[in-house]
Structure 1
Amino acid sequence: MSEDTSPESENTLNHLKDEKSPYLLQHRDNPVDWYPWGEEAFQKAKDENKPIFLSIGYSTCHWCHVMSRESFQDPEIGQLINQVFVPVKVDREERPDIDSIYMTVCQMITGSGGWPLTIIMTPDLKPFFAGTYFPKDTGPRGTGLRDLILNVHELWENQEGELLKSADELTVSLEKISQGKPGDSLPPEIITQTYHSLQENFDQQYAGFGTNQKFPTPHHLLFLLRYWKQTGETEALNMIQETLKAMRKGGIYDRIGFGFHRYTVDQQWIIPHFEKMLYDQALLAMAYTEAYQATGETEYRETAEEVLEYILRDMRSPEGGFYSAEDADSEGEEGKFYLWTAEEIQDLLGPEDGALFQTVYSISPEGNFKDEARGIKTGKNILHRTKTWDEISAELEIPSDQLWWKMEHAREVLFPAREARIHPGKDDKILTDWNGLVITALSIAGRVFGREDYLVAAGEAVDFIMTHLHSQGRLKHRWREGESAIEGNLDDYAYLIWGLLELYQATFQAEYLKAALKLNQTLTKHFWDNEEGGYYFTPDHAPQILVRQKEAYDTALPSGNSVQQMNLERLYLLTGENNFRETSESLEKYFSPTMKQTPAAFTMFLSAIMFQTSPSFEVTILGEKDSLDTQGMLKALQKEYLPQVVLVLKSSSDDLIKELIPSLENKTMVGNQATAYVCGDGTCQAPVNTPEELINLLK
């Protein structure tokens, strides 16, 4: 957690004192009398005829901390908020359903969004004002919170009817957005259109997408990898490689302790907002692993393994689940844990190695990190490279491998020195959906790199979820301090199914495939819209708020509908059950009108469409898992980048897989050797017995 949550006197605490969310607990001793989201707050607003002041954020959010220090910890502002409103705090990571609805409102009203998210709404939860960060007082940074409160108070006192009318109109608009109508199947050309859209938005100078702040957007990279594989378009591969290398060189990457920061505030990938999110690590590990498979470049494998080392070392609970995030701030300062002075480097590494390290990682006495408020250099440095290893090696006349080892030795000296610092706060809640992404990343990397330790960790994370966050076929969203809570949402199911499918194909333990199929049944029963198609974000048995949304566009995370589209296609290919294909076709038609308007916002969904429309294959290997001939085939498949392939292993002792996939009964070993069957588009090729024949069939 980012701030002290040690026990205070009961009379100094507000209504958040019994919550589990680290973010809510950060605010439990504010003079603002915060309530958690729930009927107690709503009824109080109705009884007292007060609007609700809704503040949404998350524990590792830098600007959330700033607004808290400036305003929510201020007794005068606290008193004003309490007089005028019923204040409600929401952790967006605990309640993504609430956050999504009111973020959409903010974007409708202001044209943009972000956190902290500030919403003012009627006692029946209908919004009439939205914004993000507000300083305490009006000035160069915009309208101050004090003036905002006073203005809303005057309007509520004198023009309540107009505010209620505005809130009703906004809610109607929100309902229309959430109630799409199905269209036709997507046209084939939409894949190429999406590629060209990404190409136009690609930063030719610094890589990545856009020309201001830089976000990793790994789902764009996963789409481009599949597009390159399908078309052979070299520019698609160039965009991927330039972006992955730019991120690895930049300040967005923590080269001392590993892992990626959330995003950079500059175009060059140098100056990060320092929070580290679990989902970014998982998705980027996938992107680097697949890029290694596609190109064979060792830097990508090293990066993926380093990111996973960070996750397993710093983000794993003793029980096997994975924590959510690490803060941007420590000791009240953004980035303090990660920054270095030239003097510190010299003292720790000595004159010669210190000078070399400073040259490689762009360290200077004046520093490259500026004070946020004053905009002046602080003498502190963000470690980053401006050149490739080979360029630096040639410039310094040091062999590339020798230079790498020198820098790794320096890192091993700096890491324990940094560990001795006061660490950023850790948000130690465990979320089902984000853990599903980590299970996916570990499973893919375990298979590709032959890392059994990754597969063990993935299996233990599945065990944790199924023990602590799964009951009677349903998932819960959050676990912390022994308590599971909040009904599972679409992302929880879709991401976990994804992880289970990858883990099955890496371990061939049929229990994982069985669990994926059962979760899919629950998802269909409680989330699927039987009238129009598409998955709702919330289940039919959860308390509903304002509107029940269906979304497929990707944000920092791929949407649950997008991931589920891929899950359905793979389940269809694995099992041959037509209901999976029928559901995926309905899902595509529901979202096609929206996707046609801005296809680049749906790259994860369109990766699934490529899986459906390009030649895709189910490979079944018959043989004992540990036999040399079976292992030969599996290792041959691991070396190749084959995003259009799903894999099944049928051994003599595995009765469960035969139960889950009845068509396996028709496949038998040939010549008493490991045998591979390749099936796709309704036909099966003749069985083969060698890795070379198998790979030739797939190519």
Structure 2
Amino acid sequence: MSNKLSASLSPYLRAHADNPVDWWPWCPEALEEAKRRDVPILLSIGYAACHWCHVMAHESFEDADTAALMNENFVNIKVDREERPDLDAVYMTATQAMTGQGGWPMTCFLTPDGEPFHCGTYYPPVPAHGMPSFKQVLTAVAQAWRERPGELKDGAGKIVSHIAEQTGPLREHPVDEETVSSAVAKLRQETDPGHGGFGGAPKFPPSMVLEFLLRHYERTANPAALSIVELTAEGMARGGIYDQLAGGFARYSVDSQWVVPHFEKMLYDNALLLRVYAHLARRTGHPPAARVAGETAEFLLRDLRTDQGGFAASLDADTDGVEGLTYVWTPEQLAEVLGPEDGRWAAELFRVTGEGTFERGTSTLQLPKDPDDPARWMRVRSALLEARAQRPQPARDDKVIVAWNGLAITALAEAGVSMERPDWVDAAVEAAGFLLDKHVVDGRLRRSSRDGVVGDAPGVLEDYACLADGLLALHQATGESVWLVEATRLLDIALARFASDVPGAFYDTADDAETLVNRPSDPTDNATPSGASTLASALLTASALAGHERAAQYRSACEQAVKRAGALAAQAPRFAGNWLSVAEALLAGPVQVAVVGADAAERAELLVTAAKQVHGGGVVLGGAPEAEGVPLLADRPLVDDGPAAYVCRGYVCDRPVTTTEELSRALDG
């Protein structure tokens, strides 16, 4: 017998539909049921690719005795954090405030009004490692509610008040040359000199920080910035966190050397890292960066693309309940697939040892150096990939999230242009068309869909901002006006619906969204860029593309937002990478290149030069002079009846140039 999750759109929720727990989705009826029964709410938040979410589900939510205890004493609500980032943000803030840490699965106990009074994360089925068992926690909370509900409600009210005080807008702080230079110096101090990245284990791909450092290097030629990027990009690309056979990055490394990943593959990580590696390849010509960018793009198209043209959220960390089962190898398995000679060669190449680098004597695949025999490498890689395809495969969470698809659209459009892969641009166009067709309902965005069916959860700030950013990238890649029209429509909604009363500050939920115990507003760039920083990025790009009527409004809103995040950028640059990228684009102008020509063939050479050389955060667009609906091409005629490129920085433009050599010099300047 299934519970109330069986009709859910989310694969994560549907996976719990047959639990003996009487799960509810988050809805007003669930809160009313808690009030009717006068019992607390047990809120469990997780996501499909989360390893420990699966562990707790198997240990506790599938156990009949535990479920009986839950059903008797609580109204149990299960939430997919990817569908409802607003709920996740509110209760993660509470969990961190109460425990000093957070993570998933997140386990929160709430009053019937939704106010948290006790929070934690994973609880084991029996007491272990200083943690009580989940049953002990359930029993203690239920008893406390029966004996002293007033005390718990008062405490919950104080927690909500404390969260509101701690999550107000940041003070203004300029993000100027001094702030940016200081951020680079801090990041250099915090860089792992041996393997790149920041901090120890676990180690996460710092994609937004790397993008900032690349932009800073392009503008200032600061070698320290580039060295951090190259060291980190090399370390990740050669480690086990990168799939050496099929491309694509895992969520993070459990060690500090990028050897053993947490095997889930997320759309957002791979979109952000595709952008970084394509940017690095464009700027330096670094062959490994070009290879990794290409393989990561192909991973997105092959493994995450849905039948509707969007991109799925993730691949699971587990296969048949075992983490990493699909991906790891022993020397014997290599020899079985490749034969003894190639097996030994592959084991040495990939650092697959008898002792193993992972669990049970297995090893992840690393690539510490490029193979000295490329033909042999291609043959071995192909054979191993074919053999791996015969193994059980991780599950795919195939819901489509607007924000993450926006990141993928941006990355594929930019990389497709700079690396001359029009098929990547075509894939970005298809994804954007799907999102605009299915995810816009009554003029507003819905956050997620599955199999072409859109869900009820409204879009949050990151959805509007990331999609707008992606559409602006498509406007540049294709020269088509429709993408600019749709992007500015989304930006205008974001400015109207998400802005705080404090200039430059934004909420993550709209002014007409469901009222929660706290309206979330998180400016930090974490696993994904914050909604506010992405909005600032899109506003700056739109100010360069949308024409004079909107330019001043959009640029002013961007500058105010960056100033509001300035204290974060100055104090914690590792958590302000996207903000600093926007600041770099502001300091650079941003650079704008308009290429005019009678037809695409005539414009091609100048466009390729601009795409390969323009500073990160700059805009490049080509088309016929005075093309309808393309403001960047207005008042920019042909020169001597031939193609020309117009280079501007901010509101200052150079004279038009007509050769690739002149354009290259203008961009270097």
* TM-score, normalised relative to structure 1: 0.92
Please, which moves more after superposition, 520-529 or 292-301? Answer: 520-529
Q: 1:549 aligns with which of 517, 520, 531?
A: 520
Q: 1:239 aligns with which of 218, 228, 232?
A: 228
Amino acid at match of 1:447: V
Q: Is the 8 A contact 1:181 1:532 kept in 2?
A: no
Does structure 1 residue 351 correspond to structure 2 residue 324?
no
Q: CA deviation at 1:388?
A: 2.2
Q: CA deviation at 1:608?
A: 0.5
Q: Is the 8 A contact 2:598 2:642 kept in 1?
A: no
Q: Is the 8 A contact 1:615 1:644 kept in 2?
A: no
Q: Is the 8 A contact 1:15 1:34 kept in 2?
A: yes
List aligned pairs for 1:317-332, cutoff 5 A: 317-332=306-321
Cα distance change of structure 1 residues 589 and 495 upon mapping to structure 2, 3 Å threshold: same
Q: Is the 8 A contact 2:625 2:638 kept in 1?
A: no
Q: CA deviation at 1:160?
A: 1.7
Partner of 2:553: 579
Question: In the aligned structure 1, how far is the partner of 2:181 from the partner of 2:436?
Answer: 40
Question: In the aligned structure 1, how far is the partner of 2:129 from the partner of 2:82?
Answer: 31
Partner of 2:449: 479
Q: 1:656 aligns with which of 594, 614, 629?
A: 629
Question: In the aligned structure 2, how far is the partner of 1:214 from the partner of 1:13?
Answer: 39
Partner of 1:631: 604
Does structure 1 residue 383 correspond to structure 2 residue 365?
yes
Please, which moves more after superposition, 616-625 or 256-265? Answer: 616-625
Question: In the aligned structure 2, how far is the partner of 1:366 from the partner of 1:688?
Answer: 61
Q: CA deviation at 1:638?
A: 2.5
Q: CA deviation at 1:546?
A: 1.4
Q: CA deviation at 1:358?
A: 0.7
Q: 2:574 aligns with which of 595, 600, 603?
A: 600
Q: Is the 8 A contact 1:185 1:585 kept in 2?
A: no
List aligned pairs for 1:4-403, cutoff 5 A: 12-140=1-129, 142-180=131-169, 182-370=171-359, 378-385=360-367, 387-389=368-370, 400=372, 402=373
Q: CA deviation at 1:471?
A: 3.1
Q: CA deviation at 1:51?
A: 0.9
**Partner SS, residue 620 of structure 2:** strand
Instruction: Compute the RMSD of aligned alpha carbons.
Output: 1.7
Q: Is the 8 A contact 1:214 1:266 kept in 2?
A: yes
Q: Is the 8 A contact 1:368 1:379 kept in 2?
A: yes
Q: CA deviation at 1:344?
A: 1.7
Question: In the aligned structure 1, how far is the partner of 2:60 from the partner of 2:130?
Answer: 14
Amino acid at match of 2:369: T
Question: In the aligned structure 2, how far is the partner of 1:257 from the partner of 1:679?
Answer: 41
Q: CA deviation at 1:190?
A: 1.4
* Unaligned runs of at least 5 residues, structure 1: 1-11, 371-377, 394-399
* Unaligned runs of at least 5 residues, structure 2: none
Q: CA deviation at 1:532?
A: 3.8
Q: 1:534 aligns with which of 502, 505, 514?
A: 505
Amino acid at match of 1:213: P
Does structure 1 residue 520 correspond to structure 2 residue 491?
yes
Cα distance change of structure 1 residues 595 and 297 upon mapping to structure 2, 3 Å threshold: closer
List aligned pairs for 1:688-699, cutoff 5 A: 688-699=657-668
**Partner SS, residue 612 of structure 1:** helix
1:78-124 CA distance string (max 9 Å, x none): 11111221111000000011001111111111111110011111111
List aligned pairs for 1:473-512, cutoff 5 A: 473-485=443-455, 486-512=457-483
Q: Is the 8 A contact 2:31 2:112 kept in 1?
A: yes
Cα distance change of structure 1 residues 248 and 680 upon mapping to structure 2, 3 Å threshold: closer
Partner of 1:375: none
Q: Is the 8 A contact 1:490 1:537 kept in 2?
A: yes
Q: Percent identity?
A: 37
Question: In the aligned structure 2, how far is the partner of 1:480 from the partner of 1:623?
Answer: 42
Partner of 1:671: 640
Q: Is the 8 A contact 2:600 2:623 kept in 1?
A: no
Q: Is the 8 A contact 1:290 1:641 kept in 2?
A: no
Q: CA deviation at 1:620?
A: 1.7
Question: In the aligned structure 2, how far is the partner of 1:323 from the partner of 1:381?
Answer: 28
Partner of 1:686: 655
Amino acid at match of 2:26: W
Partner of 2:586: 612
Q: CA deviation at 1:593?
A: 4.2
**Partner SS, residue 666 of structure 1:** coil
Question: In the aligned structure 2, how far is the partner of 1:25 from the partner of 1:673?
Answer: 60
Cα distance change of structure 1 residues 184 and 449 upon mapping to structure 2, 3 Å threshold: closer
1:157-198 CA distance string (max 9 Å, x none): 222222111111110111123332653533542112211221
**Partner SS, residue 657 of structure 2:** coil
1:457-494 CA distance string (max 9 Å, x none): 11100111111111343211101134212111111111
Cα distance change of structure 1 residues 200 and 79 upon mapping to structure 2, 3 Å threshold: same
Q: CA deviation at 1:571?
A: 1.5
**Partner SS, residue 13 of structure 1:** coil
Partner of 1:374: none
Please, which moves more after superposition, 216-225 or 689-698? Answer: 689-698
Question: In the aligned structure 1, how far is the partner of 2:201 from the partner of 2:51?
Answer: 19
Question: In the aligned structure 2, how far is the partner of 1:625 from the partner of 1:190?
Answer: 44
Amino acid at match of 1:308: A
Amino acid at match of 1:381: S
Q: CA deviation at 1:72?
A: 0.9
* TM-score, normalised relative to structure 2: 0.96
Q: Is the 8 A contact 2:593 2:646 kept in 1?
A: yes
Cα distance change of structure 1 residues 98 and 625 upon mapping to structure 2, 3 Å threshold: farther
Amino acid at match of 1:639: K
Question: In the aligned structure 1, how far is the partner of 2:557 from the partner of 2:302?
Answer: 40
Q: 1:566 aligns with which of 537, 541, 562?
A: 537
Amino acid at match of 1:610: E
Cα distance change of structure 1 residues 282 and 644 upon mapping to structure 2, 3 Å threshold: closer
Amino acid at match of 2:335: Q
Question: In the aligned structure 2, how far is the partner of 1:276 from the partner of 1:65?
Answer: 16
Question: In the aligned structure 1, how far is the partner of 2:76 from the partner of 2:260?
Answer: 34
Amino acid at match of 2:510: P
Amino acid at match of 1:605: W
Q: CA deviation at 1:548?
A: 1.4
Question: In the aligned structure 2, how far is the partner of 1:121 from the partner of 1:183?
Answer: 35
Q: CA deviation at 1:656?
A: 2.0
Q: Is the 8 A contact 2:175 2:563 kept in 1?
A: yes
Q: Is the 8 A contact 2:45 2:104 kept in 1?
A: yes
Partner of 1:397: none
Question: In the aligned structure 1, how far is the partner of 2:515 from the partner of 2:391?
Answer: 44
